[in-house]
A and B are shown apart, each in its own frame.
Chain A
């Protein structure tokens, strides 16, 4: 069972029911559950979208797109059915927040999905979990069945004449399916290759119908936004970044865990106070601030607020909120190699710059880490990565290239130290690997 952690600086909104048995519907109701959905049913779509816009809630999957605005793009009238799609394919290395949501508060996901459906006029919502999360899918399916039994889902939700159905779905192992259009392909029973955009999902999505697709954390946040009121939620965070975030701090810290902190919370404090600092009193070498695809930050760059805008200004991204802390006994070339090995494995092969780029980057970095690199390889790695950027259907190409660019630019000296057949100064792992 994943260990829950806590810290006095936390502001528990989304995680407030964690550890309280709220996976059981009666307990969820005792803790104020399904009040927001009832309220939204009474107030109607325009009111919901206005509250969401006022909340400043931005997509928790990584892109940070304002949720209220996304919902408002769905046409009011549509010949084809509209859908809500919850992305629980959580696969970005460094990210395990949705894991806890499904485990501890599955009804918040259901309630958020109902509210999104009411906002856009959809009658069906899908909750898609990655295949590895089977035990969590079983928890979600139990929760959905309980919500049907109570009449919160079905033909007449909460005794109204509004219909809303929820269908759960399992993946079967694919990072790429976390990309919204690839997820829709997968849900349609196909290979999870991305679709070209436009058209965007809000216009042509699942089964060709207008579709809102949100990350599971975003959806689980929605009932709390409604309960608090959009304006009050917005005040918790920093400007243009409403609310809190489930930050997952992993790697070389004393107290790794998922902590709910206000948007804009200082990254340095997050590492040294909340997570207890670098493990074993070692020095800090680098921080990956928002999942493996976000460019690395140096120790002198971490005195920043963790919101989409401030991390962007620092040259990286808030991404999925997965903070990976790297100590000074770690080889950055090896870390870069492990990172690109992942993207090479996960590239679906649809777009050539991504398929070939990740493969050549992996080959170059493997050779480099083994001590057979040449000086020109450093520039070649950078050149390859730069030429993947923006040249693929979906962001996987960028997600693979961005971190590598960061490592090469910020740790060039460490790459140079691997030249001339010199042994890596740190313990090696990847000669074991079959990555």
Chain B
């Protein structure tokens, strides 16, 4: 896809995806990163995202869906602006991962895979995120927060809520 105007993505992302297709000995190797980077911008793998990625790689949309459904980070419905992922796997569980997860549910009023009404947050219970020695740990989008207790939860949410508001104002101006 050389014609930038045809892309549903921002010029920056489109350029990044162009570079990705040239990066590998075999074009298709760009598929998984391309889906993830597209999701980072669009929020989820919409039909339009899948169609464009299929065209960029040169495979069918069905082929793209077949691969995308395998990976747990890829989603087909919008998540919140900030996706809170709470690890409850063994090392986190032993140090209170479920208590953290429960507190997030209370504070946000949503359950596993839920999205808040204002679209700012979504919540997920996830498998091991590779922070076992700093448990319990969570990720908000790609940011790690570790060595948590339930008391940390309101502060974490306030920080991201503030960012959402600041970015919202930025858009209005």
Contact = CB atoms under 8 A, between A and B. Distances in A.
Interface string A238-261: 000000000011111000111000
A335 interface: yes
A173 interface: yes
Contact of B26 (A98, A130, A207, A345): A207
A206 to B, nearest CB: 9
A429 B98 contact: yes
Given A94-B132, A189-B57, A324-B91, A170 B144 contact: no
B28 A188 contact: yes
A92 to B, nearest CB: 7
Nearest to A138: B142
A234 interface: no
Contacts, number: 165
A96 B23 contact: no
Given A3-B134, A172-B36, A93 B73 contact: no
Contact of A207 (B25, B72, B93, B102): B25
Contacts of B128: 91-95, 175, 292, 342
Interface residues of A, number: 63
Interface residues of B, number: 49
A251 B90 contact: yes
Contacts of A133: 130
A248 B132 contact: yes
Contacts of B139: 132
Given A81-B25, A131-B73, A94 B32 contact: no
Interface stretch (B63-71, B148-156, B159-167): B63-71
A213 interface: no
A93 B87 CA distance: 10
Of the candidates B35, B91, B111, B143, the one having the most CB atoms from chain A within 10 angstroms of its own CB is B91
A2 interface: yes
A283 to B, nearest CB: 15
A93 B67 CA distance: 24
